[in-house]
Structure 1
Amino acid sequence: MRKFELIAPCHFGLEAVLKKEIIDLGYDVIQVEDGRITFFGDEEAVSRANVFLRSAERILIKVGSFHAETFEELFQGTRSLAWEEFIPADGKFWVAKAASVKSKLFSPSDIQSVMKKAMVERLKGIYRVGWFEENGASFPVRVFLMKDEVTVGLDTTGESLHKRGYRKLTAKAPIAENLAASLIMLTPWRGDRILVDPFCGSGTFPIEAAMMAANMAPGMNRSFTAESWTEVVGRRNWYDAVDEAGEMVDLNVDTDIQGYDIDEKMVAVSRENARLAGVEKLIHFQRRPLSELRHPKKYGFLITNPPYGERLEEKEALPALYREIGERFAGLDSWSMYLITAYENAERDIGRKADKNRKIYNGMMKTYFYQYLGPKPPKRQKQDR
């Protein structure tokens, strides 16, 4: 079975979460960089990483790396890579994305054009053809330039891994599924603990939590680009990964996961998304304004993505909203609260400094993950044998 270096991009600030996931999946991490993890894996690892990783953006097979300060060096470096080991004569190939940081080559469109020409030149010589019909399987390429070091990868995933397949309907500013999952994994919450999202929107936090509680792999109900790469990753590997995921699911777990929203339409959206995810029985959604946020049990978790105030009239309402968040949280005895927001004055208006604060980039937006830690519940007494 072929061995690869695999690259898994993730949100900036969440590298530790993804690293732990990869290690728990049984693979050796080679390198941790800002926004991506490199690890060793075989054909089976390509399919398992795509199916099981909750926090990754996608899985790339590393084709190679080289130094390039000029377009000629970029061309020659790209042409020197063994593309024929991956792309067949009828393959459709293109540079889907180019990202450049602190490098002399910085124009994405120019980088993409030069690399495509270099790939064509290499493969023309290998397959002894003058042009390519490109009517076979798709082989999208992604390239990162960091301080003139070029890293080239083949995208095995296709649509980003945050697209689990269940979220057909969304809120105005939905949080990405993989980001929501990563944030939950940063907390001590486990499936037998209480979780409430008072701003549930399209239900992403409760649904991702329910999938974790039921041990449901995030990618088991979607497809991937590399499924058609039969000479690179055998089709049997995909069947095996999905079978493995299916055997692990337990929908009979006892959960107390709740999602509230002031908008009845969003509550309906959440319920439908939970149904599509297969976890509707594990979550209770209801229309409930923030002013009615309460819970009779202790040691629960608030995990939420409250409004940031993108429009002027929304920004004017933020101080009062965050003050109310603080008041409602204060009334929840022994609870913990975790919220992600781009609102700079969140701690001031909540009325309490967070115990921990983590900077996370949601796309290009700088956000903060405020962590208010409640007491640990008492240890359960062992039952007499």
Structure 2
Amino acid sequence: MQFHLLATMAAGLESLTTKELQDLGYKTRTENGKVYFDGDESAIATANIWLRTADRIKIVVGQFQALSFDDLFEGVKALPWDQYLPMDAAFPVAGRAVRSKLHSEPDAQAITKKAIVEKLAGVYHRRGRLPETGDLYPLEVSILNDVATLTIDTTGDSLFKRGYRIAKGDAPLKENFAAALVMLTNWHPDMPFYDPTTGSGTIPIEAALIGHNIAPGLQRHFTFEHFFFMQPQILADAKDAAMDQADFDRELDILGADLDQNMIETARVNAKQAGLLHSIQFKQLAVKDFRTDKPRGVIVSNPPYGKRLNDLAAARRLYKEMGDVYRPLTGWSKYILTADLEFEKSFGQRATKRRKLYNGAMRTDYFQYWATTR
């Protein structure tokens, strides 16, 4: 069966997800926060297992213009729901409406639900309500600029939930966002990698997954596993193929440091859960005490923002320490994420490039200082 599929991601990460899908062999079409692609059942499994920067993978059942609730009802009812939902499917409907005449999300949800029930009742020759006692098929009606899009979520818990993070610190970074921070650098697995403010270890763990070419979804489950048209062997085969592509023997030089020894222990617990403790060195170390004789490498840091810890002055003192320690390392590239848009003043150097990213709802900039010597 062929599906029109949709990967969703945080604003600013579209290009990364697009490249990931293209590297997997799919043709893509990109919009804000969305990348469309086509594929069969194995594509659903492969995308969910492999995408590092996406939030979820959805099946697009249909799209049409909806200027009235009658348009919405008839458009939804016309879609081939019996190809996707068995008679006993449990199908809660979520709704979103943006810049559209149909701005009432509860009404859009209720009308969508009613139209699907009427369509399935006719197909399955049922009278009255459908049982909805079977497996879960999460649906969404999204109306943007008067165009309704009907989707089925195949992922379940967001893809950032890899399954390895069993211990957390304050303001933890989502795993897919941490992966994006690594992928936006010039790091290669043969280079040293250093996270000076590692917290619960998410950035080094994501770097290690990338370095070993380990698919991030290998340890987790997905909603699509229970869809009636997905044979269990499809997911098993996709995971076997991903395991075959992993390079577990590659040696990596990854260091995660933090001033707080408790966070170092937390990071080790998570790295062990990910099966990567042997690939990452975690060390209690202050930013100002970092020394290296390695001529090149990559530093990635998600330091306290000030806003997040309600102490901007302390955060800016840390940024100054970073500048004092890192500026002389001309063979190293440095990438620092912060919501403090005045970061360069504290660091003492203008960035080579700044990239606007959203850490959840918070506007941040990714300040990039590229190496000038090799």
Which bracket does the TM-score occupy, shorter chain normalised?
Answer: over 0.9
Contact residue 330 and residue 372 of structure 2 kept, 8 A = no
Q: Does 1:276 align with 2:280?
A: no
Match for 2:327: what amino acid? A
Q: Distance in 2 between matches of 1:230 and 1:158?
A: 16
Aligned length: 373
Which one of 142, 155, 158 corresponds to residue 140 of structure 2? 142
Q: More deviation in 131-140 or 307-316?
A: 307-316
| 1:86 and 2:84 matched | yes
Task: Name the structure 2 match of 1:383.
Answer: none
- How far did residue 142 of structure 1 move? 2.5
Among the aligned pairs, what percent are the same residue? Answer: 42
In the alignment, which residue of structure 1 is the partner of 2:243? 246
Give the deviation of 1:195 after TM superposition: 0.7
CA distance in 2, matches of 1:313, 1:178: 25
* Structure 2 unmatched runs, 5+: none
Secondary structure at 2:48's aligned position in 1?
A: helix
Mapped to 2, the partners of 1:376 and 1:244 lie a distance apart of 39
TM-superposition CA deviations, 1:2-26 (whole Å, max 9, x none) = 1111100011111111111101001
Runs of 4+ residues over 4 Å off in structure 1: none
Which of 25, 32, 35 does residue 34 from structure 1 map onto? 32
Q: CA RMSD in A?
A: 1.5
Q: Which residue of 2 aligns with 1:174?
A: 172
1: CA distance, partners of 2:346 / 2:158: 35
Contact 1:299 1:375 in 2 (8 A): no
Please, which runs of 5 or more residues in structure 1 have no aligned partner? Answer: 378-385
Residue type matched to 1:46 in 2?
I
Q: Could you tell me which residue of structure 2 aligns to residue 13 of structure 1?
A: 12
Asked if 2 retains the 8 angstrom alpha-carbon contact of 1:10 and 1:56, the reply is yes
User: Which deviates more, 315-324 or 82-91?
Assistant: 315-324
Residues 1:323 and 2:323 aligned together:
no
What is aligned with 2:293? 296
Q: Tell me, yes or no, if the aligned pair for 2:8 and 2:33 is still in contact at 8 Å.
A: yes
Counterpart selection for 2:57 from 53, 59, 70: 59
Q: 1:46 aligns with which of 44, 47, 52?
A: 44
Partner of 1:138, secondary structure, is coil
Q: 101-110 or 250-259, which moves further after superposition?
A: 101-110
Counterpart contact for 1:3–1:40, Cα < 8 Å:
yes
For residues 10 and 181 of structure 2, the distance between their equivalents in structure 1, rounded to whole angstroms, comes to 11
Find the counterpart in structure 2 of residue 103 from structure 1: 100
| Residue in structure 2 matching 1:124, options 121, 124, 128 | 121
Aligned-residue offset at 1:311: 5.4
CA shift at 1:376, angstroms? 5.6
* 1:1-55 deviation line (CA, Å, top 9, x unaligned): x1111100011111111111101001111x2100110011111101011111111
**Post-superposition offset of 1:250:** 2.1
Retained in 2: the 8 A contact 1:294–1:331?
no
Does the C-alpha gap of structure 1 residues 222 and 329 become closer, same or farther in structure 2, counting only changes over 3 Å? same
Mapped to 2, the partners of 1:311 and 1:340 lie a distance apart of 13
Q: Is 2:254 the partner of 1:261?
A: no
Letter in 1 for 2:111: V
Shift, 1:86, TM fit: 0.4
